[in-house]
Amino acid sequence: MKYDFFVTGDPIILMSQIGIGLTMIGLIALITYLKKWTYLWKEWFTTVDHKKIGIMYIIAGVLMFFRGGVDGLMMKAQTSRPGLELLNAQHYDEIFTTHGIVMILFMAMPMLIGIMNVLIPLQIGARDVAFPKLNALSFWSFFVAALLFNISFVIGGSPDAGWTSYFPLAGKEFSPDIGNNYYAIALQISGIGTLATGINFIVTILKMRAPGMKLLKMPMFTWTSLVTSVLIVAAFPILTIALLMMTLDRMFGAHFFTVAAGGDPMLWLNLFWLWGHPEVYIVVLPAFGMFSEVIATFSRKNLFGYVTMVVSIVAIAFLSMLVWVHHFYTMGNSAAVNSVFSITTMMIAIPTGVKIFNWLFTMRKGKIQFSNAMLWSLAFIPCFTIGGVTGVMLAMAAADYQYHNTMFLVAHFHYVLIPGVVFAVFAGLYYWWPKMFGFALNEKIGKWHFWLFVIGFNLTFMPMFFVGLDGMSRRMYTYSESTGWAPWLGFSAVGSLVMAAGFAALVYNLYWSFRYASRDVGSDPWDARTLEWATASPVQEYNFAVIPEVTELDQFWKDKKEGTNKIKKEDIKDIHMPSNSAVPIIMGVAFGIVGFFLVFEMFILSAIFSVGIIACLIANSFDYDDGYHIPAKKVLETERKWRGDL
């Protein structure tokens, strides 16, 4: 095998290596200087509290958003003028590959799972998720996988076969470097965590709802999270197996995906998209749930057509398992295959359309407040509709032969995923920030963030529809003047800078609000409707002093109107809580080390370190810690602090 341990010979990479090294040393020195190691270890690294795990997911997601965003800016810079040589073809390949993987798996997923972690137990009136320690393991395996994937560009080289890693290109024959091993191993490790999260949330939502909360009385975000979890459990094992087969092909000379010994490269595409298409809905469904909550709250109305909303989500989830072939119509399927998958794909537009109209009708005759969270939801509807309509265009197999692998497709999925996921995450962050941290984000800086980002987004991706229709295929690292694309792509590059300015405004907003925002926001700053607002901000570790009883959808709203949102002193009992555990983080680190050696195909070392994983499992089996109790007196004290009267 040929590889250099450190990627060498490029000044940009050398600078990054030095930069990363200095940042690490600086960070370690700073934490040591502030004597924060014990605090971090006790309060964060070993925590099993769903709220803290959620916050760590969100922090990791923001960092990954920055990394993926920088990748995007570099691509836009490279294609801004014809014939530029800022990046060579190899670098461009690596950058669009990592951009895709980082944005989907290490940005969108943790952001959404993070918000789910913080909110689901609160929305259903529970004190934690069903398996708190497993939840921590999910986080650490994701986090370690993200780190492993990110070191690839300084150690060993990044994967360069696209985020889809199609065979035969991604096979050993055409990609002998270890870059694609990073793809197989890092995704595998993070997939384990995601699968565990899916199981955890299904059990939590089915088994731990507050008394009286029937399935059809759950908040919409809880519903979408439940359906997403079911989809995770359905789809992620397919990725696990596909990646395993890829690993066997690349490291052990198997031939699942190589034509050489009777394998079939199309099998990889087939399995990848059997997971990949549901994955799109795994990230977009919780986002739909967030918009539903935000739009209902800021329209001062209950959600229009709650039951049709639920039916639509389930229908979308069901259909999402039946459309995967639309990603490779051009492989030359029979007419029957392409027709069936065209029809199922177009059918998805129906439940999605129902949802769009439900949101519009929720707003109709409502008293709309243009808070930041609501602005993101309002911008989502038209932008996402453009993405949806172009999706129906792509769904037609015959027409797709023209659009396939052009910039038109790239523009389409950015118009779906950015409004569908990124806008939702921003809406969710502005909306739930007070609940998570006890202060609101600044609305004025938030407006800058909103307008810069939304305008920048449209400037960046709208021109890509037109160059796509004009024949520009995706993943081209440069083009000639004579194509006539230069004005469109130049325009698009400027747009990406505006979008980056929007992100900078968000970062400034986080900083400003952390330093100066009022800490006196109360438990319910938006006059909201669902149970998470019935408890303190930031939420106490035990969530609810008394588990609420539910008789209606929007229970908290009803309680507020009828004045029944008070708890009684006598109802407060000792509260049982799970203890912190070091097993998840140690196991995560062990996964990381094993993964690292596997990437470099050092099998003996990775076998030695995988003993660490097994040891953690054994240690966990002998862990008889049943948790601890918070005495009622202490609960009462904490509750008095924010309720005042009790």
Partner 1 sequence: MKKQSMFPLNHVLGFVLSIALTVGAVFIVYQTDFSASVKMNIIGTLAIFQALIQLIMFMHITEGKSGGINIINIAYAIFLAIVVVAGSIWVLTTGHAAM
Interacting residue ranges for partner 1, rule: CB under 8 A: 234, 238, 264, 266-267, 270-271, 274, 321-322, 324-325, 331-334, 336-337
Q: Minimum distance from CB of 381 to partner 1 (Å)? A: 31
Q: Minimum distance from CB of 327 to partner 1 (Å)? A: 11
Cβ proximity of 160 and 167 under 8 Å = no
Q: Minimum distance from CB of 39 to partner 1 (Å)? A: 43
Cα(97)–Cα(85) distance, integer angstroms: 19
Q: Minimum distance from CB of 556 to partner 1 (Å)? A: 30
- How is residue 425 written in tokens? 């995450």
Cα(162)–Cα(166) distance, integer angstroms: 7
Question: Which residue lies nearer to partner 1 by CB, 333 or 620?
Answer: 333
Name the amino acid, one letter, at 42: K
Question: Which residue lies nearer to partner 1 by CB, 89 or 331?
Answer: 331
Q: Minimum distance from CB of 126 to partner 1 (Å)? A: 20
For residue 600, which of 161, 145, 156 has the smallest C-alpha distance? 156
Q: Minimum distance from CB of 408 to partner 1 (Å)? A: 24
Q: Minimum distance from CB of 103 to partner 1 (Å)? A: 26
Question: Which residue lies nearer to partner 1 by CB, 268 or 380?
Answer: 268
Q: Minimum distance from CB of 206 to partner 1 (Å)? A: 9
For residue 356, which of 326, 387, 327 has the smallest C-alpha distance? 387
Question: Which residue lies nearer to partner 1 by CB, 332 or 644?
Answer: 332
For residue 531, which of 513, 560, 554 has the smallest C-alpha distance? 554
Q: Minimum distance from CB of 257 to partner 1 (Å)? A: 12
Question: Which residue lies nearer to partner 1 by CB, 60 or 205?
Answer: 205
Cα(602)–Cα(406) distance, integer angstroms: 39
Question: Which residue lies nearer to partner 1 by CB, 76 or 326?
Answer: 326
Q: DSSP letters of 334-351?
A: -HHHHHHHHHHHHHHHHH
b (16+ CB within 10 A) / e for 398-429: eebeebbebbbbbbbbbbbbbbbbbbbbbbbb
Question: Which residue lies nearer to partner 1 by CB, 329 or 503?
Answer: 329
For residue 69, which of 421, 500, 455, 511 has the smallest C-alpha distance? 500
Cβ proximity of 268 and 202 under 8 Å = no
Q: Minimum distance from CB of 210 to partner 1 (Å)? A: 20
For residue 565, which of 605, 528, 593 has the smallest C-alpha distance? 528
Name the amino acid, one letter, at 43: E
Question: Which residue lies nearer to partner 1 by CB, 339 or 551?
Answer: 339
Question: Which residue lies nearer to partner 1 by CB, 147 or 203?
Answer: 203
Q: What is the 3-class SS of 78-107, one letter each residue?
A: HCCCCCCCCCCHHHHHHHHHHHHHHHHHHH
Question: Which residue lies nearer to partner 1 by CB, 330 or 480?
Answer: 330
3-state secondary structure of 542: coil
What element of type H or E holds 618? helix 603-621
Question: Which residue lies nearer to partner 1 by CB, 268 or 403?
Answer: 268
DSSP letter at 646? Answer: -
Alpha helix (H) residue ranges in 364-483 = 372-395, 397-403, 407-417, 424-437, 443-469
Q: Give 576's strand partners.
A: 629
Q: DSSP letters of 301-324?
A: SPPTTHHHHHHHHHHHHHHHTT-G
Q: Minimum distance from CB of 328 to partner 1 (Å)? A: 9
Cβ proximity of 423 and 380 under 8 Å = yes
